[in-house]
A and B are shown apart, each in its own frame.
Chain A
């Protein structure tokens, strides 16, 4: 039921956005395919940056604990800020990499 509710919400706001902008932009099937492809490329870039940030974070924390007496929990790498910044990195990287296509 929750899934259907979420799907309904996203479908409703998408239709609203389409209706509000209709006439100013055309929406083709080709563009939707391209947007879908770009979306998955962006998710891939986000996942890669997130994995790299977390692995590097754990390595730095373990090394820091090894060479100083100060304790830093490894769990710090799951801070939401890392997710948000990784998402930004993925977005900017994908925009930059695919700039020749647009």
Chain B
């Protein structure tokens, strides 16, 4: 066999040895409008991972709020409660949804009211993909 014929095989081997990486993008970032004087709100989003390695959302921050936390709503029996969560796993070639009634971005001490049409930014930090900032939109309370 000629050495040249081995080249594609060698390339293939080199490719497969490349470490798996997550490829994370964030879609559909939104928050529900809050009432005047109401200082806590929630934001939601879909985190899509096209990469071949999982990642994990570890931190969130919304500058409009004094404190931002990752929260999970849990319904046990018929009782709903919220608890802080350490992070949100984003599977390889999969997605994680932060949605109403589930894991969400909890904002407390909102410094401005959130009105329909307002824009805001969320800073996110992933274990592997690092920091990302993404824009979101405030929707009317009854819309979604």
Chain A complexes with chain B = no
Interface residues of A (CB under 8 A from B): none
